[in-house]
Amino acid sequence: MKKGVMSLLSLALSVSMLAGCGSKPEEGATGGAGGEAPKASFTVGMVTDAGTIDDKSFNQGTYEGIERANKDFGTGLKYQKPAGTTEAEYTKEIGNLYDAGYKFIVTPGFKFETAIFKAQEKYKDAKFVLIDGAPNSGEPDAKPVVADNTVSIFFAEQESGFLAGVATALQLKEGEAGFIGGIQIPPVQKFNWGFQQGLNYANENLDTKVEIKKDNVVYQGTFDNVAAGGQLASQMYSNGVKVIFAAAGGVGVGAIQEAVTRAKGGDEVWIVGVDVDQYNDGVYGDKSVVLTSAVKKIDQAAYDMIKAETEGKFPGGQTLTLDAKSDGVGLPAENPNLSEEVLKQVDEVLEKIKSGEITVSAEQGDLLP
Amino acid sequence: MNMIKSLAAVLLGLAAGALLMALTGHNPAEGYKFLFEGGLKNPERIGNTLATATPLILTGLSVAFAFRTGLFNIGAAGQMLFGGFCATAVGHLVDLPRAVLLLLMVLVGFLGGALWALIPGILKARYNVHEVVSTIMMNWIAYWTVFYAIPSYFKGGSETESRQLPANALFHENWLSELFQGSYVNLGFFIAIISVLITGFLINRTTLGYELKAVGFNRHAAEYAGIAVKRSIVMSMFISGGIAGLAGVAQYAGNASSIQIGILPTQGFDGIAVALLGANAPLGVLVSAIFFGLLYSGRGFMNAMTEIPPEIADSIIAIIIYFAATSILIDRLYRKYKSRRAANKKQGG
């Protein structure tokens, strides 16, 4: 009995530990920049959201932006990984960065809203960049309070989803599409609704026929359940879906893996990636299942804020929304799976969004949930 | 002996951690200096260490209690989550003077966790379903129940979090935060201390505790001695789950003020390591949980002050836990060594 318990125990522990250290340590926090890069008067720290620094999404995007800024301006960089996702744990890591002299702090994700709300008051001589959220007290109907030492950044995800939808419809001409979301939160919903509007627009104006059925719009409920992502994708593909837009972090990774397996077996299946260019995640042989990605230029946002600070132009107190016009959202620079023709048409659509001829709604309206 | 074993496990873990730091090109002495400073440097950091330790004390106690009665409660995470959820519901829905409300939340949190462990307890007692399997399943039932219930009934500012509890229903005390200079340590810590004392008394000084332990040692012997074995199993799961439920109260109404959906609290699983390192004794659990709290709390400071990346810091903690969890190995090695020496002596003499 005892032996059985112990072996079960070690199994359980190793499982929980595997979960804890699944990521490989990144070549990261290496302090100041090497070479002749100029030395900025401040150092930049980052606190990661749930998930690892190489999550192919928020954390990674933010980190890459800071890394680039470090190369250009010598701002240094350091990231802290909180033990959990409560406000107290975020606050603790912000405090650690501050105590260690990192007074320009970038935090990705809406979960930091309440932590930044308190930190911007507590550390008045520090600067904060909150991506995808606005600081607030967390009480019901609380008004966002962006202090003078904080910038809050949002993205027009719907425009990015719209472009991906148009590109998908144009490239595939006809067939069924699906959507897998993580948790049903506004940024994910806006991707979904934008994507549907994109498909509809192409079907109505550009002579395509790519439909999306209600059953094939699914929110998995987490951002990290890779296995569930694979299952959902498998179901959809079996039901005749040709392309899945996966806006779901780790769940999307599972969907990509499923697509790769099927593509290797000769099926024609596609994934539309999210947040960053996910082309490389879907590579098999010399091809990739990732048709294109609905990109949010998180790295650019982080970079721009640091750059502004080096020039003494930090837009403290402001709430910025980055959209297609400001080049904050869009498709990746390279799209090997889209034809020249398609790219040209997508560019025309992009211009129309920029000029305001097409407006993409951030609301559900009569779209699928 | 138990204490030596645990200390050896900690020292081995720290040594292995030092080795890892050295191998990755970092200075172990400096790393550990900042690790401990990060948890102890000033009153605020000490308070944060205690607050971090609070849920760990309770989940560790929960697991240790079940162990002592021969049960392996791997469902502390789910019990904690559900207990915390019940207490949160009470905090939102009931309007009473603060002292009464907090006591009610503690009681309901205990019952919520207890209920979650009661089901595996009954399954074990009546149908001999192994509690490891059923408690893990209950973890996921709690996860999805909360996942559904929070957005439906207690939706907060964001989609993935409950509304914040009103100040009246929180275990925060201004004098405590002031004493620890702005730390988030709260009354939950006292719940943990009281639970340690009560559990210690229950296990070591009462007939009930004696019976529960007897069932743990040898079920058949206990039955033969006239102890109601099935009742004992159900009872010990009930108490174990209740203690885990208290961890939920301390976490969600003390350390935090809302529940996030989509996350099983990690403290549930860490509780197993805490219990093992504490040799399943209530006081041992208290000490080992504070040690874990120190590691978790100081880790961030080590990371900020040195070039040791957070993943390495995580691995170091994992290694220490690993050695703690395998402290049974140390026991075995020690016994082997002793018996060999005894054998040598015999041969020599």
- ipTM value of the model? 0.84
Residue A365 banded pLDDT, cuts 50, 70, 90: confident
Residue A37 banded pLDDT, cuts 50, 70, 90: low
Q: Does A20 fall in a domain?
A: no
Same domain, A231 and A307: no
Instruction: Provide the shortest C-alpha distance from residue B252 to chain A (in Å).
Output: 9
- Hey, are the CB atoms on A50 and B38 less than 8 Å from each other? no
Instruction: Provide the shortest C-alpha distance from residue B206 to chain A (in Å).
Output: 25
Residue A19: pLDDT above 70?
A: no
Distance CA A79, CA A253 (A): 24
Instruction: Provide the shortest C-alpha distance from residue A288 to chain B (in Å).
Output: 30
Q: Per residue in B1-49, pLDDT tens?
A: 678 878 888 888 888 889 988 998 899 999 999 999 999 999 999 999 9
Same domain, A264 and A167: yes
Same domain, A340 and A316: no
Same domain, A292 and A302: no
Residue A1 banded pLDDT, cuts 50, 70, 90: very low
The whole-number pLDDT of residue A9 equals: 46
- Quick check: B241 and B116 in contact, CB under 8 A? yes
Residue B336: pLDDT above 60?
A: yes
Q: Does A195 fall in a domain?
A: yes
Instruction: Using DSSP bridges, classify how beta strands A104-108 and A77-80 pair: parallel, antiparallel or unpaired.
Output: unpaired
The whole-number pLDDT of residue B328 equals: 66
Same domain, A231 and A243: yes
Domain hosting B120: range is 53-299
| Share of residues in chain B with pLDDT > 90 (%) | 68
Q: Does A8 fall in a domain?
A: no
Same domain, A88 and A131: yes
Same domain, A336 and A209: yes
Same domain, A94 and A165: no
As a whole number, mean pLDDT of residues B46-62 equals 96
Q: Does A32 fall in a domain?
A: yes
Residue A2: pLDDT above 50?
A: no
* CATH number of the CATH domain containing A225: 3.40.50.2300
Which of A26, A140, A221 comes nearest B147 by C-beta? A221
Q: How many residues does chain A have?
A: 369
What would the two tokens of residue B46 be?
Answer: 């000490």
Count up the domains in chain B and report the number: 1
As a whole number, mean pLDDT of residues B124-131 equals 94
- Hey, are the CB atoms on B297 and A221 less than 8 Å from each other? no
Q: Does B64 fall in a domain?
A: yes
Q: Per residue in A133-151, pLDDT tens?
A: 899 887 777 889 999 999 9
Residue A13: pLDDT above 90?
A: no
Q: In whole angstroms, how far apart are CA A243 and each of A168, A212, A250, A272?
A: 8, 10, 18, 7
Q: Which of B102, B118, B85, B79 is nearest to B235 (CA)?
A: B118
Same domain, A117 and A138: yes
Residue B348 banded pLDDT, cuts 50, 70, 90: low
- Hey, are the CB atoms on B158 and A139 less than 8 Å from each other? no
Q: Per residue in B188-235, pLDDT tens?
A: 999 999 999 999 999 999 999 999 999 999 989 999 999 999 999 999
Q: Does B258 fall in a domain?
A: yes
The whole-number pLDDT of residue B323 equals: 80
Is A183 an 8 Å CB contact of chain B? yes
- Hey, are the CB atoms on A16 and B301 less than 8 Å from each other? no
Q: Does A119 fall in a domain?
A: yes
Q: Per residue in B280-293, pLDDT tens?
A: 999 999 999 999 99
Same domain, A128 and A219: no
- Hey, are the CB atoms on B164 and A139 less than 8 Å from each other? yes
Distance CA A153, CA A166 (A): 26
Q: Does B145 fall in a domain?
A: yes
Q: Per residue in A275-327, pLDDT tens?
A: 989 999 999 989 999 999 999 999 999 999 999 999 999 999 999 999 999 89
Domain hosting A247: range is 157-296+329-355
Count up the domains in chain A and report the number: 2
Please identify among residues 49-68 of chain A the ones whose CB lies closer than 8 Å to any CB of chain B. 50, 52
- Hey, are the CB atoms on B311 and A25 less than 8 Å from each other? yes
The whole-number pLDDT of residue A84 equals: 82
Residue B156 banded pLDDT, cuts 50, 70, 90: confident
Biggest alpha carbon distance in chain B?
78
Q: Does A12 fall in a domain?
A: no
What is the residue type of B198? I
Computed over every residue of chain A, the mean pLDDT equals 87
Residue A258 banded pLDDT, cuts 50, 70, 90: very high
Is A283 an 8 Å CB contact of chain B? no
Highest mean pLDDT out of A101-115, A300-314, B24-38, B101-115: B101-115
Q: How many residues does chain B have?
A: 349
Please calculate the CA angle B255-B259-B265 and round it to the nearest 5 degrees.
75
Q: Does B87 fall in a domain?
A: yes
Same domain, A167 and A214: yes
Q: A235 pairs with which residues across the strands?
A: none
Same domain, A128 and A181: no
The whole-number pLDDT of residue B12 equals: 85
* CATH number of the CATH domain containing B67: 1.10.3470
Q: Does B156 fall in a domain?
A: yes
Is A235 an 8 Å CB contact of chain B? no
- Quick check: B82 and B146 in contact, CB under 8 A? yes
